[in-house]
Chains A and B, each alone.
Chain A
Amino acid sequence: MSAERPTLEELKERKVLSRQRVERSGEVMTVSMGPQHPSMHGVYRAVLDLDGEVIVAVRPEIGNLHRGVEKLCEERTYHQIIPITDRLDYLSSFVMNHGYCEAVEKLMGVEVPARGRYIRTIASELCRIANHIMWLGIHIMDLGTQTFFCICFRDREYVLDLLEMLTGARLTHSFGRIGGVAKDLPDGFDHRCRKVIDFLPQRIAEYERIIKHNRIYYKRAKGVGIFTSEDCYAWRVTGPPLRSAGVARDLRKDEPYSAYDEVDFEVAVEYQGDVYDRFLVRMKEIRESCKIIRQCLDNLPDGPFLARDVTHSLPLKKNVLRDSAAMIQDFYQVFQGPLAPKGEVYRAIEAPKGEMGVYIRSEGGAKPARIRFTTPSFYHGQALPPLVEGEMVSDMVAIFASIDVVLGDCDR
């Protein structure tokens, strides 16, 4: 039983045993891994102190991709911030739109129509699938095989194709709007989407079967980089790494938003807290995402996909061309912007990489006074030292890939 579901104490003990204790002596070699390094994701830099091959200490350095997103947002209306949020986690950018829009809607008290919520859910889950497939490719490549990287990219292409069809862009979707989404589902989307979510889980299951039982993967991943649930709380490690440590926390279930309380899905949980279980959690999540999308397509309600909210959301394009009231709303929204009440909100959603929160403080008016994106990679990048100290250099690469850091998300 304990091998299947270890208690917290057992896991702690296992963590201590899996790390090599190295006393810091004079014989320490300092290696700067990154910002230009093949396996460092983006421009992350980790300064490693090595004793032979064992890592004694790590100093993470971030900020090479800092673009001052929060300062940019203070100078823009709530509509104009949407494309900026795309550039946070650019591998799942609709989820970033989604989180931002949820926060703004909470601030302004906008109700999203049912169809809009369902389309948001579909797009978010497509992003999650694309993100996890890409993660699989990169994780496997960091362990030495480039073939799976190409195969995973090919499979990700099917999802990106759907997203391009839906949103008009492959990476920076800019699809969320305050009060709904920008556009309705296009013709033929339903059919193509069903085709992809039917065959993708089979293919993923096939890869999973091969990788899971591969002796080298098993050796490289099992018992490596153990992080207990307590560590996760302390370092704010959320998402798949937290769920792999036996905590069934998923904001889609715990604080449901959009259509997640209307669909039936399971939270993927594993119990060992190591690289291997993070892999299993993500593979499960891909299958659950496919399930969610299928349910959303089945139960897709009719009606508007964008709130008819004159003061807070943009009008529909086709109404603008026909109707002078919509035209006035258009001009009002562009020149004035959506007016927010004075106050502050914090809204967190479940991004593919972890919990992504948005804090907005408004002083009234159409521009936020302070906005803060609490992005998962920021904290995952910070948690690298406790994850890898005592492990070997090769493991650091595997562990760093397993917590899934993307630097746009990390540096903001």
Chain B
Amino acid sequence: MSDPIAQLIFLIIKAILMPVLIVMMVAFIIFFERKFAGFFQGRVGPTYLGPWGSFQSFGDIFKLLSKEDLIPAKSDKAVFRLAPYIIFIPAFLVMAVMPFGPVGGQANLFGYRFDYVIANFDAGLVLFLALGAIAVYGVVLAGWSSNSNFSLLGGLRAGAQMISYELAMGFSVVGVMLMANSMSFVDIVNGQAGDFWHWYFIPQVVGGLIFFVATLAELNRTPFDLAEAEQELVAGYLTEYSGMRWGIFMFAEYVNLVVISGIVSTLYFGGWRAPLEVLDFIPGPIWLFIKICAFVFLYMWVRWTIFRYRYNQLMSIGWKVLLPLSILNLAVTAIVVSVAG
């Protein structure tokens, strides 16, 4: 078997295995979100289905599948059906460019070169930003097509929110890009080789914080869950969705959670690299998994602690605080990199 054929087979296996693993992970993350929400609130969370209640997500899926699929009478039916997938698919695609282990000839599997990434794409960062922008369409279209006032308000809020936060996010990422001198995730991780003080969150602490806040907005979690805003807009753009269509939205939200956690750890926390070089005997995918879990937990903790901003406050934070700060961070990084490098 020649090397290209082996690479093709590996690629197919990776492309199948990665979504499956994410789906399994998401099923348990949904369970953990409910369990941990209970813990944060002094409750016990789900306990009935399975040991420690851990099959709760599967029970939820069965419930959602057995529910009636309602489509509002005066909605735009084609768009209404399409909207969940516009959110769902881009969420998965980002995982293709994220490395989960060493890339470029070091690793071997059955004597062939094995890259721990599905696609070593040179402009991975741009792809990530672009796919994030596409997902907004899903939210906006879902809100618009439902023919409901609450949905429309939710969709509009989501649109405005994502646009203003994507700018800050983009500018804060450019700092990392300058330091790694590349837009490829593989190079970014390689740029953070060594012990944990080589990771980018130390020089890029401001950019990292901005990126974290912006991802909260990107994920529609508190304090920026205005698009859903249960207390104000019932369920925002999801108001008219029911059954498995609603389930797909929820699923996409949690896939996004995993992906964004992966991106944060890749950009600022060394990706698959161990915090100390002596711990390198533990393989890269496990380190990435641990980091993703840590960030998922952090996102949950934030979600169950803090309040929601008002719409105009959110916009003013995005435009008046985060955007200038991220530009400043970019300028300082550019000067330092050009002087030092």
Contacts and interface: CB of A to CB of B under 8 A. Distances in A.
A65 interface: no
A21 interface: no
A149 B305 CA distance: 11
Interface in A192-216: 214, 216
Interface string B36-48: 0100111100000
A320 interface: no
Interface string B297-321: 0000000111111111100000000
B232 A39 contact: yes
B80 interface: no
Given A31-B150, A144-B231, A393-B232, A216 B40 contact: no
B225 interface: yes
A211 to B, nearest CB: 9
B223 interface: yes
A29 B149 CA distance: 8
A145 B222 contact: yes
A145 B223 CA distance: 9
A219 B309 contact: yes
Given A144-B307, A214-B307, A150 B42 contact: yes
B255 to A, nearest CB: 23
Contacts of A53: 153, 311-312
Q: Kindly name the residue among B226, B233, B307, B311 whose own CB sees the greatest number of chain A CB atoms within 10 A.
A: B307
A220 interface: yes
B9 interface: no
A394 B305 CA distance: 19
Interface string A146-162: 11011100100000000
Contacts of B311: 53, 392-394
Contact of A216 (B153, B230, B309): B309
Interface in B281-332: 304-313
Contacts of B41: 146-147, 149-151
Interface string A133-174: 000000011111111011100100000000000000000000
Q: Is the interface of B mostly helix, strand, loop or mixed?
A: loop
Interface string B211-237: 000000000001101100111111000
Nearest to A211: B307
Nearest to B148: A31
A46 to B, nearest CB: 12
Contacts of B232: 39, 393-394, 397
Contacts of B234: 37-38
Interface residues of B, number: 29
B310 A395 contact: yes
Contacts, number: 83
A379 interface: no
Interface size class of A (residues with CB under 8 A): 20 to 34
A217 interface: yes
Contacts of B37: 146
B229 A394 contact: yes
A89 to B, nearest CB: 22
Interface string A39-61: 10000000000100100000000
B301 to A, nearest CB: 10
A144 B223 contact: yes
Contacts of B233: 393
B307 A140 contact: yes
Contacts of B40: 147
Nearest to A20: B312
Contacts of A31: 149-150, 153
Contacts of A146: 37, 41, 304
A145 B42 CA distance: 14
Nearest to B304: A147
B231 A38 contact: yes
Contacts of A149: 41
A140 B231 CA distance: 11
A144 B308 CA distance: 5
A164 to B, nearest CB: 21
A4 to B, nearest CB: 25
Contacts of B230: 38-39
Nearest to A39: B231
Contacts of A154: 42
A74 B226 CA distance: 49
B150 A143 contact: no
A195 to B, nearest CB: 19
B150 A145 contact: no
A141 B306 CA distance: 10
B42 A220 contact: no
Nearest to A217: B307
B231 A150 contact: no
Q: Kindly name the residue among B152, B226, B305, B308 whose own CB sees the greatest number of chain A CB atoms within 10 A.
A: B308
Interface in A374-412: 392-395, 397
Given A219-B313, A393-B153, 18 more contacts: A29-B149, A39-B232, A141-B231, A143-B231, A144-B225, A144-B229, A145-B304, A145-B305, A146-B37, A147-B40, A147-B41, A150-B41, A154-B42, A216-B223, A393-B233, A394-B229, A394-B311, A397-B231
5 contacts: A39-B232, A145-B306, A216-B308, A219-B310, A220-B308
Give the top 10 A-B pairs by smallest Cβ distance, nearest first. A144-B308, A150-B41, A39-B231, A216-B307, A394-B310, A31-B149, A144-B307, A143-B307, A142-B231, A147-B41
